Structure 1
Amino acid sequence: MSIRPWLAQYPKEIPASLTYEEQPVQSYLTKAAREYPDKIAIHFMGKELTFQEVYESSLKMGRYLRKLGIQKGDRVAIMLPNGPQSVISYFGVLYAGGIVVQTNPLYTEREIEYQMKDSGSTVIITLDVLYPRVRQAMKRTNLQHIIVTAVKDYLPFPKNIIYPFIQMKQTGLKVQVEERGTNHEFKRIMEIEAAEELDISFDFNEDLAILQYTGGTTGFPKGVMLTHKNLIANTTMCASWLYKCRKGEETILGVLPFFHVYGMTAVMILSIMQGYKMVLLPKFDVKTTLKTIQKQRPTLFPGAPTIYIALLNDPDLKKYDLSSIHSCLSGSAPLPAEVQQKFERITGGKLVEGYGLSETSPVTHSNFLWDHSRVKGSVGVPWPDTDAAILSMDTGEILSPGEIGEIVVKGPQVMKGYWKRPEETEMTFKDGWLLTGDVGYMDENGYFFVVDRKKDMILAGGYNIYPREIEEVLYEHEAVQEAVAVGVPDSYRGETVKAYVVLKDGYSVTEEELNQFARTQLAAYKVPRVYEFRNELPKTAVGKILRRALIDEEKRKQEKTS
């Protein structure tokens, strides 16, 4: 693009273009161990590991994987919650020359089987309590080895003794995996293996670091091929955006799961690249998160809107000191303005919305954290070296500011393509632009606004209705904790708007009261015709509301009654 209006908005501290070190992702851990050998890299439920310890452990895992037959380009699945093992495994696979296949620990047998078959993974690293599920799926895949760890393996005394009993009470599972045949103990690998570098050459531009599977909302999940260049570029961009953060001095809260691309880049790789301390939580729990913030004093807190909403609505929130937090980038879903304002008021820090996709490693846009006025409703401006535009969904031409079309992006963080899907890869690109599938517009200053996903747009009585606009209004009501709007079949209008709402504890509101509130701020055709109150909404592991699950549920109801 000849004109990039957003560059005029950049503060002087953020350059329009960056230099990217042409080296594999794992080289940053090698450098961090040399620069900060005795500095704490990971805090996990009382256990702490230095950068040197994480580095040596990762080398051990890499060497062991080579002994299991992993060659350059082979796929290794990691099915773990956040913890020292997830970081060690990730870098261990990369040191071995392998490609990481991030696997959600919540996956069912069927989902594990699909992902292992599609990726061709031959080794998986997982938790003891997940072992039975993995073992069953293994029979129908190319998996040859399972490396098993337990949460207690990296807990301090006496937590390591107590935790198995807590786990047994929570899950009802007591799994004892013996090291024999295709089973391997993570803990034993750390005891017996040598911490020595492996001499493997890497092509920075072409070699894959990970296969990041998409959520599959539009069909079967696809493996997004992200190269070492993609990940290093996006993490370097992130570091430049956080220009007030001090290298080697920040503490970052790792509650976003690392099997999600946002947590992997904006927490794990960023921390290794910048020498930050990671405070890791294996899952999001409101009370645990609040206690951890008060005790560990994190300064950076990347998250998702539902995480911030849950914290803000805890009845004991005022008992906790959250003032250490100075910077939060929110992703994975729209950030309601009310949530942003309240969170900033309570912490004294900054919370801004960003935008991206698994296909872009993941961030392409963000609002500025400091020294800039806010543009309400915007996902921000493109990051350095990132181009973005709005394409007409009819003609395919680039549109002028203010016109609504499909958001398209270019940049060094954009994926190589979809794993084993050349046709779908080709369909996702147009003249070098990645088609995001999101509908939006750009203003005269280069700020982008996401109206909605193409597939989520509601067509009611000939009108295009964008769910996000409705949700923003509902979030402004004092009783509403969460809201999502979907299109449901309607014999007269084709589709009509239905809103699913979760209320805050101690609040009540009727359907009529919500309807009257919405009518004061929305055109009549946009106002939900139906409201359904729920205790909770279906979500992904990072807290993104599963709109598609609600739509499918509604369709099944209609089919039963028709």
Structure 2
Amino acid sequence: MLTTDKRWLAQYPEEVPKTLEYENISLHECLERTATKFPNTEAIHFLGKKLTFEELHVQAKKCANQLISLGVKKGDRVAIMLANCPQSMISYYGALMAGAIVVQTNPLYVERELEHQMTDSGAKVMICLDLVFPRVQKVRSRTSLEHVIVTGIKDYLPFPKNLLYPFVQKKQNPTLTSIEYDEQTLEFLPWLKAGSENKVDVTLNPAEDLALIQYTGGTTGLAKGVMLTHRNLYVNTFQCKSWIYNVEEGKEKMLAALPFFHVYGMTVVMNLAVMNGFTSVLLPRFNVKDVLKTIDKQKVTLFPGAPTMYRAILLDPTKDNYDLSSIKACISGAAALPLDTQEKFEKVTGGKLVEGYGLTETAPVALANLIWGKRKSGSIGVPWPDTEVAIIKPDGEQADVKEVGEVAVRGPQVMKGYWNHPVETEKTFLGDWLLTGDMGYMDEEGFFYIVDRKKDMIIAGGFNIYPREIEEVLFEHEAVGDVAIIGVADEYRGETVKAFVVKKDGYNPTEKELDEHCRKHLAAYKVPRIYEFRDELPKTLIGKVLRRVLIEEEQNKMEKEKVEANREA
């Protein structure tokens, strides 16, 4: 029986409650309440286009009613394949109001990934960007999609940007063709405009009914859908609200550079902003110059992000030309935050930057360092209110202080399970404790540390990448006899993907050929950046590739290079 002494509670500042009172409400009710409390406050600022909370609420209701008119019922899945734009927030809250389960879909997905996600989730409707529609159309007949609603960035741009954007888009994507709309393929703006503004009345049980199926990389090559209820997401957003107590409702400006299709961006950016009446300053993609200009011009106060983003700002030679002093707080997630990045970013902005930790399975945040309190270098911080963390030894017993074991999490934000995967769900839980697969320890003051990540997983630029999926794609190439994928250190991305390839007899593939093959079947961030050809791979007696040996070889190689560089210097 695992127990926790919760010694971390002694670190809480008096402003953070040790336990919170959660209302039994559906996630989309947060938008309704904020629209009532701050109707004229700017909810969205998108490249000059502005929407108030009242306007966002009205458009979400229209979306909900239109989805219902297409036959969407409580529990049906609605896929959203959009960049950060007003349509993304409208579609998300509209789908939830209709009682649907949102399936967030990465716009970078190629056909293989897209088809798996749509068939596994059984999505009935998709709302997507015009840029990705050709990919959707190619897999559509092999999925359960009945309707696809298509929108474009231009749809919510102010005049004259909305007129100029199509020319820019055509120049950047010369092969982009016009879309033929019919009863199954609908144009977003006219479809939305025709919707009713009446409130949708769908009865939900927040603790049981799903709000989201969020796909996370699969260790067997196929992504699994994490089932998160309305309560899971509402609770984690409310926990975050308690953590950033030094902010004002209805007055902050949140930089939405983290994608909403990632659960971290969804909770700590979109849901948090809507719950608290913050303005979401949306950027459809991360571009460091756009980020610098936006912080300077919009006076952004909150900037949740990934270490890659903060490093990009620090490395930009023009950063001193911009006023970044409006930044109050940033919670970094998705990868380990280097100490020098934290210190330099705080010096440049004058704001606070702290590291948090979580998983898609925890909606996603479980621990974080205190923003305006004690923090420790290298630590992932302390558990959030009502969240317990235990360290488990291989024998199943609880580890002592500073003893390394597997990190387990228990709390109201922990997922219901994996969609269509009861066996995998059972393996992931020990009673009501979620086994993270990460190895770590707790110190005498209740601060936690990660010493090794999930077996084999690579985190590049904030994206979780599982080697097996890439290996399976490379194995499909006729010239590849054997392959192993690992992550190697990268100054900018944190890690990057490296492929060790053994060629088949009689074949001599080039890096370019393998790269082109991978790009046809994988999202760009998963494609190997480095290839090394070998005669054989290190393996166990039963033939399993010793990935750890390859990782250690790379680490030793880097150490030697550092020593030689220092010697030359």
**Class of the TM-score when normalised by the shorter of the 2 chains:** 0.7 to 0.9
Separation in 1, partners of 2:235, 2:88: 22
Correspondence 1:326-475 to 2 at 5 A: 326-372=328-374, 374-392=375-393, 394-456=394-456
Identical counterparts, % of pairs: 53
Q: In the TM superposition, what whole-angstrom CA distance separates every residue of 1:296-342 from its partner, at most 9, and x where no partner exists?
A: 11100000011111111112111111111010000000000010000
The corresponding residue for 1:255 is 257
The corresponding residue for 1:48 is 50
Separation in 1, partners of 2:343, 2:36: 41
1:324 and 2:372 correspond:
no
Q: Residue 84 of structure 1 aligns to which amino acid in structure 2?
A: P
Separation in 1, partners of 2:49, 2:551: 52
Separation in 1, partners of 2:555, 2:171: 33
1:88 and 2:94 correspond:
no
Q: Report the alpha carbon displacement of residue 485 of structure 1 after superposing the two structures with TM.
A: 8.7
Q: Residue 562 of structure 2 aligns to which amino acid in structure 1?
A: L
Paired residues of 1:485 and 1:498 also in contact (CA < 8 A): no
- Which residue of the other structure, out of 282, 285, 288, is the alignment partner of 1:286? 288
Paired residues of 1:485 and 1:500 also in contact (CA < 8 A): no
Task: Describe the SS at the equivalent of 1:137.
Answer: helix
Paired residues of 1:485 and 1:497 also in contact (CA < 8 A): no
1:23 and 2:78 correspond:
no
Aligned residue pairs total: 491
Q: Residue 441 of structure 1 aligns to which amino acid in structure 2?
A: Y
The corresponding residue for 1:507 is none
Separation in 2, partners of 1:70, 1:482: 40
Residue 241 to residue 517, structure 1, CA distance change in 2 (3 Å): farther
Paired residues of 1:330 and 1:353 also in contact (CA < 8 A): yes
Paired residues of 1:41 and 1:54 also in contact (CA < 8 A): yes
Paired residues of 1:258 and 1:264 also in contact (CA < 8 A): yes
TM-score normalized by structure 2?
0.83
Residue 518 to residue 81, structure 1, CA distance change in 2 (3 Å): farther
Task: Describe the SS at the equivalent of 2:407.
Answer: strand
Unaligned runs of 5+ in 1: 459-473, 502-509, 520-562
* Bigger shift: residues 163-172 or 291-300: 163-172
- Which residue of the other structure, out of 105, 108, 111, is the alignment partner of 1:109? 111
- Which residue of the other structure, out of 32, 35, 38, is the alignment partner of 2:34? 32
Paired residues of 1:484 and 1:499 also in contact (CA < 8 A): no
Task: Describe the SS at the equivalent of 1:497.
Answer: helix
Residue 380 to residue 186, structure 1, CA distance change in 2 (3 Å): same
Q: Report the alpha carbon displacement of residue 457 of structure 1 after superposing the two structures with TM.
A: 9.4
Structure 1 stretches of 4+ moved >4 Å: 480-483, 485-496, 498-501, 510-513, 516-519
Q: Residue 332 of structure 1 aligns to which amino acid in structure 2?
A: A
Separation in 2, partners of 1:345, 1:16: 31
Separation in 1, partners of 2:549, 2:230: 46
Task: Describe the SS at the equivalent of 1:212.
Answer: strand
Q: Residue 122 of structure 2 aligns to which amino acid in structure 1?
A: G
Residue 483 to residue 34, structure 1, CA distance change in 2 (3 Å): closer
* Bigger shift: residues 217-226 or 203-212: 217-226
Unaligned runs of 5+ in 2: 459-488, 501-536, 540-545
Q: In the TM superposition, what whole-angstrom CA distance separates every residue of 1:77-111 from its partner, at most 9, and x where no partner exists?
A: 00000010000000010111100000000011111
Paired residues of 2:436 and 2:454 also in contact (CA < 8 A): no
Q: Compare relative contact order (CA 8 Å, sep 6+) and give the higher one, 1 or 2.
A: 2
Separation in 1, partners of 2:357, 2:113: 27
Paired residues of 1:116 and 1:141 also in contact (CA < 8 A): yes
Q: In the TM superposition, what whole-angstrom CA distance separates every residue of 1:465-510 from its partner, at most 9, and x where no partner exists?
A: xxxxxxxxx89xxxx5555499985589944525599xxxxxxxx9
TM-score normalized by structure 1?
0.84
Separation in 1, partners of 2:448, 2:201: 44
Q: Could you say what the CA RMSD is over the residues aligned between the two structures, in angstroms?
A: 2.3
Q: Report the alpha carbon displacement of residue 38 of structure 1 after superposing the two structures with TM.
A: 1.0
Residue 421 to residue 361, structure 1, CA distance change in 2 (3 Å): same
Separation in 2, partners of 1:364, 1:172: 45
The corresponding residue for 1:524 is none
Q: Residue 56 of structure 2 aligns to which amino acid in structure 1?
A: V
Q: Report the alpha carbon displacement of residue 215 of structure 1 after superposing the two structures with TM.
A: 2.4
Q: Report the alpha carbon displacement of residue 117 of structure 1 after superposing the two structures with TM.
A: 0.3
The corresponding residue for 1:128 is 130
The corresponding residue for 1:72 is 74
Q: Residue 345 of structure 1 aligns to which amino acid in structure 2?
A: K
Task: Describe the SS at the equivalent of 2:326.
Answer: coil
Q: In the TM superposition, what whole-angstrom CA distance separates every residue of 1:340-397 from its partner, at most 9, and x where no partner exists?
A: 000000000000000000000000000000132x3110000000000001001x2011
Q: Report the alpha carbon displacement of residue 153 of structure 1 after superposing the two structures with TM.
A: 0.4
Separation in 1, partners of 2:150, 2:197: 20
The corresponding residue for 1:311 is 313
Q: In the TM superposition, what whole-angstrom CA distance separates every residue of 1:40-63 from its partner, at most 9, and x where no partner exists?
A: 000000000000111010001100
Q: In the TM superposition, what whole-angstrom CA distance separates every residue of 1:228-287 from its partner, at most 9, and x where no partner exists?
A: 000010000000000101111110000000000000000101011000000000000111
